[in-house]
A and B are shown apart, each in its own frame.
Chain A
Amino acid sequence: MYKKVNDGITNEETNIIIRILDNAYIPFDPANTDYQEYLAWVAEGNTPEEAD
């Protein structure tokens, strides 16, 4: 459902997650409601896919 994403220049892991359903870039901002949904998804025991 979610996938990690690496930085396009440094290739290091970013503080952004991709929602696979609509390829949405979701920043790790506690005020972002999509990020809040992601955290809830992780809290249920799920794990995001590794970055390409």
Chain B
Amino acid sequence: MSVNINGSTGVSLVQDGVIVTADMASSVPLGAKNKIINGNLGINQRAVTGSVVLGAGIYGHDRWKAGASGCSYTFATTANVTTITISAGSLLQVIEGLNLQSGTHTLSWTGTATAKIGGGSYSASGVTGTVTGGTNMTIDFSTGTLSLVQLEEGSTATPFEHRMYGQELSLCQRYFQMLGGDTTFSASHAWATGAVFNTTDCWMSYQLPTTMRASPTITNDISSGVVQMISDGTKTVSALNSFSFNAKGGRFKAVITGGVSGYSGVLQAVDSDGNYIKFAAEL
């Protein structure tokens, strides 16, 4: 087996003088070609379920958000491939300009949905468009089914690039990540550690596992179950506030009663209760 490099036919795989795979760059998946994040739709940190109804600009599966008219969809996963069926509205992904190079790009997917690149028109899989490197760009899906979404350089659609789950999750976490929300995890889970400042304030430190695109917007809800502080005994946390984070991490305050200054504290919650802290740096 050898590799044949030819100026007109590209890089080919040759065996016994016969080309086995011609123009490999166009016919075989080569690494890091897919500009879509979560193109396999397998990352769902927000844990949307059932019939998903999103208002305009609201995110469902990671990196996918509703268009200006919202989006209604269902989804199913078979053999590790998730297929979304859009029944109304549109589903978008904004691609960060830092990941784009100028030139013709091809958008491909499996399914009946139609899509467009930027301001183009909706078409079936194999849509081409011109991309400007360094500038954010939006791809937009209308009603129908879609899975295995890929945007790549060039004018030819090639096989979908399957990335490792952990790699894909990390790519998603640049834009969104959360503590809590894991419906399958019913035991107490340590969220952060800190120190008791006075009777009511315990200051917590938390380093984000993935550096985010920007300093994140932070929301939290601890009304769905008991969030505790393990310090000089177990204390119920009544609120989380005073969040101050950059793209790498930061601190916040857990409000307790009967704190003793100088003690350390561990903030813990039961993920399946529905409590969460969300960090968002979406586009």
Contact = CB atoms under 8 A, between A and B. Distances in A.
Interface stretch (B35-43, B148-156, B181-189, B243-251): B243-251
Given A8-B201, A8-B253, A29 B215 contact: yes
Contact of B217 (A7, A8, A9, A34): A34
Contact of A29 (B214, B219, B282, B283): B214
Interface of A: 5, 7-9, 14, 16, 19, 22-27, 29, 31-35
A27 B245 contact: yes
Contact of A27 (B201, B203, B216, B242): B216
Contacts of B281: 31-32
A7 B242 contact: yes
B218 interface: yes
A8 B219 contact: no
Nearest to B278: A24
Nearest to B220: A23
Is the interface on chain B under 10, 10 to 19, 20 to 34, or 35 or more residues? 20 to 34
Interface string B247-283: 0000001000000000000000000000000001111
Nearest to A19: B217
A8 B242 contact: yes
B283 A24 contact: no
Interface secondary structure of B, over-half rule: strand
B241 interface: yes
Contact of B244 (A16, A19, A24): A16
Complex A-B, nearest 5 residue pairs according to Cβ-Cβ distance, in ascending order: A8-B242, A31-B214, A29-B215, A27-B215, A25-B243
A21 to B, nearest CB: 10
B112 to A, nearest CB: 31
A16 B201 CA distance: 20
B216 A22 contact: no
Contact of B213 (A16, A27, A31): A31
A24 B197 CA distance: 24
B96 to A, nearest CB: 10
A5 to B, nearest CB: 8
Contacts of A33: 282-283
Contacts of A23: 219-220
B219 A27 contact: no
A24 B217 contact: yes
Interface string B222-244: 00000000000000000001111
Nearest to A15: B244
B223 to A, nearest CB: 11
Contacts of B217: 19, 24-27, 32, 34-35
B244 A32 contact: no
